[in-house]
Amino acid sequence: MMAIDGARLIEDLRELAGFGSFGTGVDRPAFSDADMAARRWVCDRLADAGLDAAIDNVGNVLGRTDAHQAVLIGSHTDSVPKGGWLDGALGVVYGIEIARAVRAAGIADGAGATGVDVISFQEEEGAFLPLMGSRAFCGEVSGAEFDAASNADGHGLRQAIADWGLDGNPPARVDAKRHTAYLEAHIEQGPRLEAAGLKIGVVTGLVGIRRFRIACAGQADHAGTTPMDMRRDAGAALVRLATALLDMFEAEAAPETVWNIGQVTFRPGAFNVVPEAAELLVEFRDTSPDRLVRLGDSLAAVVAAADGASNVAVTAVDAGGIAPAQLDQRLQAAITAAAADCGAPSVALQSGAGHDAMVLSKHVPAAMMFIPSIGGRSHHVAENTSDEDIVLGCRVLARTVESLIAAS
Amino acid sequence: MMAIDGARLIEDLRELAGFGSFGTGVDRPAFSDADMAARRWVCDRLADAGLDAAIDNVGNVLGRTDAHQAVLIGSHTDSVPKGGWLDGALGVVYGIEIARAVRAAGIADGAGATGVDVISFQEEEGAFLPLMGSRAFCGEVSGAEFDAASNADGHGLRQAIADWGLDGNPPARVDAKRHTAYLEAHIEQGPRLEAAGLKIGVVTGLVGIRRFRIACAGQADHAGTTPMDMRRDAGAALVRLATALLDMFEAEAAPETVWNIGQVTFRPGAFNVVPEAAELLVEFRDTSPDRLVRLGDSLAAVVAAADGASNVAVTAVDAGGIAPAQLDQRLQAAITAAAADCGAPSVALQSGAGHDAMVLSKHVPAAMMFIPSIGGRSHHVAENTSDEDIVLGCRVLARTVESLIAAS
């Protein structure tokens, strides 16, 4: 097998975590100083690994092998604000280490061979426009989307690109003839592997997401002087509606479906004022497109049943969504076999979060591999994985790449 | 009957509303420039009515008749921020007009007679310390309470008193030998009189209030990657708890009981994060001390049943309360008879809000009379009552005073 240098791998991850370090995590939103310094560091490491490396016109860092074809390995190096050190970074540093290992093994030499390209996508986390880097890499972002996107400070995406002098750079693009596969390793960001004592998750697909903003409109009244039967209590209506939604999901969801009422707000929000307005944010996720549709219909039925009861108007607004993605079965089999080769117990599971692989899977055969998250934590400085599990994951991914190159 | 000058009454109310006018309402929190200007105006009107009038050491304005005993008429002239023009002001201006009418009728002349004292309490609304003026008038405010009270700007109550040079003024005090009755007229602040086509509410008692802050503590997790059965979802726990509370109140409340879940907050509050913390504010009101205790016990039982379910800790903190107050039955009968004398249809009802009468009722026989609120609105610039209803209310209260003086 190709030789993975575990100490070097961990050292690289720690060095990368130094850019924008925040406690035990990182604060490295897309196009921040820390993010761009990290990208230059990644670019240098890719060049050291013998790849032709450059930052493209949206901030993606691509290192290209001189082989004729390539397995593309990558993820992203931007983070959520005050996030963890492994989310995204892990998949990029795995790519760097595997590119070095492939080169050292000499298995991708020659113009007709298959090598390894490595990419760090920009702006996966959505400071401006989620999955922007991978979507741009796949030619999916329109000029209008670029024009409209801005971050929480009101800074435009186009301006951020111009600020860093990137707009003249050549774009990097996926190439279905060149890229025989896209492999993305990532921390699980959930508790399942750890709870089951497993080391590798072979991802079958990425869930689709549907989001709704549900609002109740009533009337503010004095909560002492207004009899109960004369109120138009938006808060009570929302509480009962939210319970009905939870009941609906429990009754109709599949075992893997997840849902969340993530936010509830009341206005004006005082002990002694009947709420005039109340709102909730709800999302649900499933890999089945049909089930996403059916659950959306059931949500609409719950809202329709609540609308007008107690003289409170209830409306649901679609707050966007993402279609589910299925990953390549041949690549899943290759990861499963590689895990067995490395003695790493594995399981097939779905990804409950979005990833760049979601975008890539529409253009090239794509796969994802998870390693355990301690306590299932992520998007938080407490995010972590043991060094041992990190190194084992890299060995499994390297073994997968080796088998794909051998079969090419 | 004594003669009430309806035009003069309305003119006085409009003039008073000019102090701190805000749209169609007033913005006149205790000790603001507008509030103190209004108090000086009230003091002048009381002097014009032949009373010995002064502002006391906490901002209360008291006008004293030279008769031996007095029916005390009053309310407050401070307002909530951006409030209505009648809340409090009505009861004070009724007092001014009735003092003038009593003087004009010559029915309280002579050292042994019963006359009318008029008071505008300071700080009923709680910018610093709710009901401060009436509590100070009754000797109920401790030095420690004065020391601790401050407003939303962090300005201390003692400092506010000193800023206006009041601290050297003689205190005004209730006198059970002098004050044979306390009468407070007020807008209903609710929709019942208007809805029933009635003009006068004879208040039987003021509800007591109990308030609780109920908190659910779970764990923040990624709402996509954390399976439903591994979550500690504080939001879902709060939603189900809130529904259980609403069900409990509906099952156990008396017809006149009112309750309100006025505020719900989730943390961190995003589509894709399982809430780690969720909180609600709930209050309930009833005139029965026993029922207040029983409902509190039932609330505690609902909380105890929820605590620990789904690995979410639930706690309830008592956020304070007010004991209910019963009003004097002889005075209620006098108001009911006076309404009949004036041809004003009346009904006995409870007050769902707190008033200065709540404090006075512990020291002297006290009564309250409500007039209709248009649309039930109050604590809002839209607060209003027709001129006709305002004048009729004053006639009923004057007739009540006349009967009390005649019986003294």
Quote the tokens at residue B27: 């913005």
Q: Is B246 on the interface with A (CB under 8 A)?
A: yes
Q: Looking at chain B, which residue has its C-alpha nearest residue A207? A: B224
More confident residue, A107 or B88: B88
Q: Average of pLDDT values for B215-237? A: 94
> What pLDDT does A110 receive?
64
One domain, residues B35 and B144: yes
CB B264 to CB A266 under 8 A?
A: yes
Q: Reduced to 3 states, what is the DSSP secondary structure of residue B296?
A: helix
- Pair B89, B200 in one domain: yes
Q: How far is B235 from chain A (nearest CA, A)?
A: 7
Please indicate whether, in this complex, the C-beta atoms of A264 and B236 are within 8 angstroms of each other: no
The answer to whether the Cβ–Cβ distance between B225 and A272 falls below 8 Å is: no
- Among B280, B302, B322, the domain-final residue is B322
Partner-chain contact A351 B225, CB within 8 Å? yes
Residues A297 and A332 in one domain: no
Query: In A, which residues are within 8 Å of B239 by CB distance?
Result: 239, 242-243, 246, 261, 264
Give tens-digit pLDDT for B49-85.
999 999 999 999 999 999 999 999 999 999 999 999 9
Task: Tell me the mean pLDDT in the region B81-107.
Answer: 95
Residue B361 within any structural domain of the chain: yes
HEC letters along chain A:
CCCCCHHHHHHHHHHHHCCCEECCEECCCCCCHHHHHHHHHHHHHHHHCCCEEEECCCCCEEEECCCCEEEEEEEECCCCCCECCCCCHHHHHHHHHHHHHHHHHCCCCCCCCEEEEEEEECCCCCCCCCCHHHHHHCCCCCHHHHHHCECCCCCEHHHHHHHCCCCCCCCCCCCCCCEEEEEEEEECCCCHHHHHCCCEEEEEEECEEEEEEEEEECCCEECCCCCHHHCCCHHHHHHHHHHHHHHHHHHHCCCCCEEEEEEEEEECCCCCEECCEEEEEEEEEECCHHHHHHHHHHHHHHHHHHCCHHHCEEEEEEEEEECCEECCHHHHHHHHHHHHHCCCCEEEEEECCCCHHHHHCCCCCEEEEEECCHHHCCCCCCCCCCHHHHHHHHHHHHHHHHHHHHCC
Query: B145 pLDDT exceeds 90?
Result: yes
Q: Above 80 in pLDDT, residue A108?
A: no
**Which residues on neighbouring strands pair with residue A183, listed in sequence order?**
A73, A367
Residue A1 resides in a domain: no
- Sign of the C-alpha dihedral computed for residues B334, B337, B341 and B345 taken in this order: positive
Q: Give the number of domains in chain B.
A: 2
B270/A283 touch (CB, cutoff 8 Å), yes or no: no
- Categorize the per-residue pLDDT at A111 as very low, low, confident or very high, splitting at 50, 70 and 90: low
Both tokens assigned to A288: 């089945």
The least confident of A270-274, A342-346, B337-341 is A270-274
Residue B361 identity (one-letter amino acid): S
Range from A127-131, A234-238, B116-120 carrying the lowest mean pLDDT: A127-131
Q: Is A189 on the interface with B (CB under 8 A)?
A: yes
Instruction: Tell me the pLDDT tens digit for each residue of B350-379.
Output: 999 999 999 999 999 999 999 999 999 888
Pair B164, B228 in one domain? no
Rounded average pLDDT over A247-276: 95
Residue B317's SS3 state is: strand
Residue B10's nearest CA partner among B78, B75, B73, B94 is B94
In three-state secondary structure terms, B62 is strand
Q: Which one of A301, A322, A343 terminates a domain?
A: A322
- Using DSSP's 3-state secondary structure scheme, residue B58 falls into coil
The verdict on a CB contact (< 8 Å) between A236 and B228 is no
Q: Is B336 on the interface with A (CB under 8 A)?
A: no
Closest CA to A275 of A222, A235, A232, A223: A235
Q: Is residue B97 part of a domain?
A: yes
Exposed/middle/buried for A61, CB within 10 Å: 0-12, 13-18, 19+? buried
- Indicate whether A249 and A282 sit together in one domain: yes
Does residue A13 have a pLDDT over 80? yes
What does pTM read for this prediction?
0.84
Pick among A125, A271, A274, A380 to test the B interface (most B CBs inside 10 A): A271
pLDDT tens-digit series, residues A284-329: 999 999 999 999 999 999 999 999 999 999 999 999 888 999 999 9
Q: Write down the mean pLDDT value for chain B.
A: 96
Q: Are residues A218 and A272 in the same domain?
A: yes
What interface predicted TM-score (ipTM) does this complex get? Answer: 0.85
Digit-coded pLDDT (tens) for A128-140:
999 999 999 999 9
- Which percentage of chain B shows pLDDT scores above 70? 99
- Do the Cβ atoms of B191 and A352 come within 8 Å? no
Q: Sort out which chain B residues have CB atoms less than 8 A from A352's CB and list them.
A: 222-226
The answer to whether A235 faces chain B, any CB pair under 8 Å, is yes
Question: Does residue B290 belong to any structural domain of this protein?
Answer: yes
- The answer, for A247 touching chain B at a CB cutoff of 8 Å, is no
B398: enclosing H helix or E strand:
helix B387-407
CATH number at residue B213: 3.30.70.360
Note whether B223 contacts A: Cβ–Cβ < 8 A. Answer: yes
As a whole number, mean pLDDT of residues B227-239 equals 96
Cβ neighbors of A99 (< 8 A, separation 6 or more) are: A46, A49, A50, A51, A63, A65, A73, A116, A118
CATH of the domain at B344: 3.40.630.10
Claim to verify: residue A182 and residue A66 sit in the same structural domain: yes
Confidence of residue A379 (pLDDT cuts 50, 70, 90): confident
Cβ(A30)–Cβ(A356) under 8 Å?
no
Across the interface, of B233, B261, B266, the residue whose CB is closest to A235 is B261
Has residue B1 been placed in a domain?
A: no
A contacts of B225 (beta carbons < 8 Å): 188-190, 351-353, 376, 378
Q: Which residue has the tokens 């609906």?
A: A248
Looking at residue B308, what DSSP letter applies?
T
Residue B108: pLDDT band (50, 70, 90) is confident
% of residues, chain A, pLDDT over 70: 99
Structure confidence by residue, pLDDT tens digits, A241-260:
999 999 999 999 999 999 99
Give the integer Cα–Cα distance in Å for B141 and B131. Answer: 10
Residue A6 buriedness (CB in 10 A; 0-12 / 13-18 / 19+): middle
Which pair of structure tokens corresponds to residue A399? 């073994």
The residue segments making up the domain with residue B244 are 208-322
Q: What is the pLDDT of residue B401?
A: 97
Asked if the C-beta of A374 comes within 8 angstroms of chain B's C-beta atoms, the answer is no
Neighbours of B341 (CB within 10 A): 15
* Among candidates A191, A240, A283 on the partner chain, residue whose Cβ is nearest the Cβ of B271: A283
Tens-digit pLDDT profile for residues B240-277: 999 999 999 999 999 999 999 999 999 999 898 899 99
CB-defined contacts A:B, below 8 A:
208
**Cross-chain residue pair A262–B271, CB shorter than 8 Å:** yes
Strands in B323-380 per DSSP E: 325-326, 346-351, 366-371
Q: What residues contact A199, with CB distance under 8 A and at least 6 apart?
A: A193, A339, A344, A345, A346, A371, A372, A389, A392, A393, A396
> For residue A357, is pLDDT > 90?
yes
The mean pLDDT value for A81-95 works out to 96
User: What residues in B contact A318, CB-CB < 8 Å?
Assistant: none
Q: Do B352 and A195 touch (CB under 8 A)?
A: no
Mean pLDDT (chain A, rounded) = 96
From B322, B337, B356, the end of a domain falls on B322
pLDDT for the residue numbered B30: 97
Other Cβ atoms closer than 10 A to A312: 26
Crossing angle of the two packed helices B387-407 and B89-105, in degrees rounded to 10: 50
The C-alpha atoms of residue A378 and residue A185 are separated, in whole angstroms, by 15
B306 neighbors B252 (Cβ within 8 angstroms)? no
Q: Examine the domain organization and report whether B299 and B311 are in the same domain.
A: yes
| Chain A residue with the nearest C-alpha to that of B282 | A271
Same domain for B350 and B315? no
Q: Find the mean pLDDT for residues A352-365.
A: 96
Which tokens is B52 given? Answer: 């010995």
3-state helix, strand, coil in chain B (%, to 5): 40, 25, 35
Residues B355/B184, Cβ–Cβ less than 8 Å: yes
What's the pLDDT score for residue B379? Answer: 85
Tokens of residue B20, six digits = 């701190």
Instruction: Kindly state whether residues A346 and A221 are assigned to the same domain.
Output: no
Query: Does A271 sit within 8 Å of B263, measured CB to CB?
Result: yes
Do A179 and A361 contact (CB within 8 A), yes or no? no
Contact A35, A20 (CB under 8 A): yes
Shortest Cα–Cα distance, A283 to chain B (Å):
6
The one-letter code for the residue type at A169 is N
Residue A112 has pLDDT above 80, yes or no: no
Q: Kindly determine whether residue A221 and residue B376, on different chains, have CB atoms separated by under 8 Å.
A: yes
Note whether B195 contacts A265, CB cutoff 8 Å. Answer: no
Q: Do residues B159 and B285 share a domain?
A: no
Contact A262 B281 (CB under 8 A): no
Give yes or no: residues B220 and B311 share one domain.
yes
Q: What is the pLDDT of residue B110?
A: 64
A interface mutation test: which of B80, B187, B240, B264 has the most A CBs within 10 A?
B264
Chain B partners of A209 at a C-beta cutoff of 8 Å? 224
